[in-house]
């Protein structure tokens, strides 16, 4: 049960990363590898500030802001210096590795004795359920573990609602159009370059927010924690699309969150059954590969049918 | 209204791919006039339109539009003054967004986009009425994505979007060339109607002689990056497609002669 709750919480926290990847990959059609660096940056900034005794809310917000800055740098490299989007992301990700080590001062910052959003949440749970443990459908679980998934879900759904609202504003609609048809939105007077910079800042802000929360939940920030996370995000987005059909903005956002949680749960179960943790990234990559290739392959194998006009 | 003077543009200068697309174009267009730009492939007519729209910055010359010098303005800034329909029906609309969302984008052309709702009720009512007037049955499909529509429908919608806020200048870049004849007729009729109703200053590129003769009040014929003929007023009214063909034939003959003469000189002296 604790294993499942842990997977559920991490799945929810990482769904913020998946939402960030959704923005860069689906809205702007740009696989943005900055993600691997900015999730660590968010964790590093937040962890270092927490150790210094900064308020957890403020530390988390500053972590997210750091990621947004990294995303904006990628956007500037791509739009102002005309560097290929993929390469711009690789450059920033590589640079961030050093930045993260500088921010943390070492390769790992433990948060065991530090007051974090997670420890606040656990305390809130204890006062809510009036005791250190609570009986949940027959299982006795720590109150903190029972409260955190709810809190995480509330927070993630709140973020998704804000994103949903934003992408329906004039600015948000123009940003979606930038990814859909840049020539058209430029002819309608929107600054495409600025939209891309803003979009990548938003995407990496979400990713870093996810990193900041992840560090607080798992109790440490680590220089290596970002490796392969963009592929993780892609997997979540793809699962979400398969589940909801990606027909509308709201469904896509909801699907991405569900996809992230589901993927994390599947991984937790697979690990439990004895999957070698070393194979995890390989399997994630293979999964994304299959998800990208199979639809086209199936389409090609199907007999051609004439679609009436 | 629009004044071009001494416009020059060379693509890939100093390489084997060098193209001198515009070689000194001067053109002044009055407010409310409808100018048709005619020319063969590679004559520079589309390049001229793109220079006005700001798709690239010109090497030399100045562009004035609605009393402002826009020569150095980036494309998205000029969009405040310019409505535009492209040759490719896929270029003017965002395929994965709904009809309503596309118009919401067009309704802010040239204005700052903030955090107000894109689909405001203030937009939806006139939008439904205007789209109903197309008689394409699209007014009940405002939430459908534009990618599901035909090229003709998309081009008609692009035209409405480009003129939703009255542009100081309307640019039509062979906007019916990629359509089937029936859709092309519909779009041309709609263009005429919109241009006449709003008294829009229009610059239209075409290579259809028939369109050039029947539309507009002035024809500018381009050849090799220069303006060759400028036909207006009574002469434009009298013009028949055969007259235009004659003029093109004349150009072609002169070129052949020039080439032949060049070869002869080459043979004799080198």
pLDDT at A141 over 70: yes
Could you report the predicted ipTM of this complex, rounded to two decimals?
0.87
Kindly list the residues from chain B whose CB atom is less than 8 angstroms away from the CB atom of residue A169. 113-118
Over chain B (270 residues), the average pLDDT of each successive run of 10 is 93 90 93 91 90 95 94 94 94 94 94 90 90 88 92 94 95 92 93 94 90 90 90 85 83 70 66
pLDDT of residue B258: 66
pLDDT of residue A290: 85
**Residue A100: what are its φ and ψ, rounded to 5°?**
-60, -40
Question: Which among A174, A176, A184 has CB closest to B93?
Answer: A184
Distances (CA, A) of B168 to A192, A194, B31, B65, B67: 22, 25, 9, 8, 10
For residues A103 and A101, what is the distance between their CA atoms, to the nearest angstrom? 5
CA-CA-CA-CA dihedral for B149, B151, B157, B161, to nearest 10: 120
DSSP string, A155-182: HHHHHHHHHHHHTTBHHHHHHHHHHH-H
Residue A170 distance to chain B (closest CA, Å): 4
The closest alpha carbon to A117, from A58, A61, A56, belongs to A56
Say which residues have a Cβ less than 8 Å from residue A43's Cβ, sequence separation at least 6: A63, A208, A211, A212, A214, A215, A221, A222, A225
Per cent of chain A over pLDDT 90 is 65
Residue B238 distance to chain A (closest CA, Å): 36
CB B258 within 8 A of CB B251: no
> How does pLDDT run across A205-237, given as a tens digit for each residue?
999 999 999 999 999 999 999 999 999 999 999
Angle at A22 between CA A21 and CA A26, to 5 degrees: 115
pTM: 0.89
Radius of gyration, CA atoms only, chain B: 20
pLDDT of residue A14: 96
Say which residues have a Cβ less than 8 Å from residue B117's Cβ, sequence separation at least 6: A168, A169, A170
pLDDT of residue B259: 63
Question: Which among A187, A190, A192 has CB closest to B84?
Answer: A187
Q: How many residues does chain B have?
A: 270
pLDDT of residue A156: 96
pLDDT of residue B265: 65
pLDDT of residue A280: 86
pLDDT of residue A307: 52
For residues A29 and A86, what is the distance between their CA atoms, to the nearest angstrom? 11
Q: Does A174 touch chain B (CB under 8 A)?
A: yes
Question: Which among A166, A168, A185 has CB closest to B105?
Answer: A185
Say which residues have a Cβ less than 8 Å from residue B12's Cβ, sequence separation at least 6: B18, B19
pLDDT of residue A80: 95
Question: Which among B53, B84, B113 has CB closest to A190?
Answer: B113
For residues A274 and A237, what is the distance between their CA atoms, to the nearest angstrom? 26
> How does pLDDT run across A275-303, given as a tens digit for each residue?
888 888 888 888 888 888 877 777 777 76
For residues B175 and B260, what is the distance between their CA atoms, to the nearest angstrom? 37
Average pLDDT over residues A23-41: 94
**Residue B230: what are its φ and ψ, rounded to 5°?**
-135, 105
Q: How many residues does chain A have?
A: 309
pLDDT of residue A57: 95
The closest alpha carbon to B13, from B53, B67, B51, B59, belongs to B59
**Which residues in A261-282 are b (16+ Cβ under 10 Å) and which e?**
bbbbbebbeeeeeeeeeeeeee
**Which residues in B138-171 are b (16+ Cβ under 10 Å) and which e?**
bbebbeebbeebebbbbbbbbbbbbbbbebbbbb
Kindly list the residues from chain B whose CB atom is less than 8 angstroms away from the CB atom of residue A189. 76-77, 79-80, 108-111
Question: Alpha helices, DSSP H only, in A105-228?
Answer: 117-129, 143-166, 170-180, 182-187, 192-218
Q: Does A186 touch chain B (CB under 8 A)?
A: yes
pLDDT at A146 over 80: no
């Amino acid at each position: 049960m604790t294993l499942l709750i842990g997977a559920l919480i991490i799945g929810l926290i990482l769904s913020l990363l998946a939402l960030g990847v959704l923005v860069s990959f689906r809205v702007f059609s740009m696989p943005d590898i900055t993600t691997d660096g900015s999730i660590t940056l968010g964790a590093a900034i937040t962890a270092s500030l927490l150790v210094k005794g900064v308020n957890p809310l403020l530390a988390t917000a500053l972590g997210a802001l750091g990621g947004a800055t990294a995303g904006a740098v990628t956007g500037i490299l791509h739009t102002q210096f005309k560097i290929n989007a993929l390469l711009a992301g690789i450059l920033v990700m590589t640079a961030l590795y050093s930045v993260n080590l500088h921010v943390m001062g070492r390769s790992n910052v433990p948060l065991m004795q530090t007051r974090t959003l997670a420890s606040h949440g656990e305390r809130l749970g204890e006062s809510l359920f009036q005791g250190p443990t609570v009986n949940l459908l027959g299982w006795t679980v720590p109150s903190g573990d029972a409260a955190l998934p709810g809190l995480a879900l509330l927070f993630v759904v709140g973020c998704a609602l804000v994103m949903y609202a934003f992408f329906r504003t004039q600015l948000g609609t123009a940003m979606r159009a930038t990814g859909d048809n840049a020539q058209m939105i430029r002819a309608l007077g929107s600054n495409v370059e600025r939209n891309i910079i803003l979009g990548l800042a938003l995407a990496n802000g979400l990713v870093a927010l996810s990193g900041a929360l992840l560090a607080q939940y798992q109790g440490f920030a680590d220089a290596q924690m970002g490796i392969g996370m963009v592929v993780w995000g892609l997997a979540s987005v793809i699962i979400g699309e398969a589940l909801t059909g990606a027909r509308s903005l709201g469904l896509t956002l909801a699907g991405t969150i569900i996809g992230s949680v589901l993927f994390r749960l599947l991984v937790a179960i697979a690990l439990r059954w004895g999957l070698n943790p070393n194979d995890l990234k390989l399997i994630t990559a293979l999964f994304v590969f299959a998800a990208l290739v199979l639809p086209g392959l199936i389409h090609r194998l199907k007999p051609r049918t004439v679609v009436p006009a | 209204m629009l004044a071009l003077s001494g416009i020059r543009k060379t693509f890939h200068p100093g390489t084997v791919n060098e193209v001198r697309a515009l070689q000194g174009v001067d053109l002044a267009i009055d407010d409310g006039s409808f100018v048709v730009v005619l020319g063969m492939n590679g004559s520079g007519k589309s390049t001229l339109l793109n220079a006005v729209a700001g798709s690239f910055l010109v090497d030399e010359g100045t562009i004035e539009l609605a009393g402002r010098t826009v020569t150095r303005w980036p494309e998205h800034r000029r969009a405040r003054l310019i409505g535009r329909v492209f040759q490719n029906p896929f270029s003017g609309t965002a395929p994965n967004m709904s009809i309503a969302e596309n118009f919401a984008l067009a309704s802010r052309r040239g204005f700052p986009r903030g955090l107000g709702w894109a689909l405001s009720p203030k937009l939806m009512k006139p939008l439904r009425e205007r789209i109903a007037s197309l008689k394409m049955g699209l007014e009940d499909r405002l939430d459908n994505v534009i990618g599901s529509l035909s090229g003709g429908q998309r081009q008609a919608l692009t035209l409405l979007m480009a003129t939703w806020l009255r542009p100081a200048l309307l640019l039509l870049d062979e906007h019916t060339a990629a359509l089937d004849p029936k859709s092309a007729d519909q779009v041309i009729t709609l263009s005429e109607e919109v241009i006449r109703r709003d008294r829009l200053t229009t610059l239209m590129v075409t290579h259809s002689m028939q369109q050039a003769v029947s539309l507009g009040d002035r024809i500018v014929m381009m050849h090799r990056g220069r303006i060759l003929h400028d036909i207006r007023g009574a002469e434009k009214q009298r013009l028949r497609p055969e007259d235009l063909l004659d003029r093109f034939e004349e150009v072609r003959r002169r070129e052949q002669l020039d080439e032949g003469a060049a070869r002869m000189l080459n043979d004799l002296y080198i």
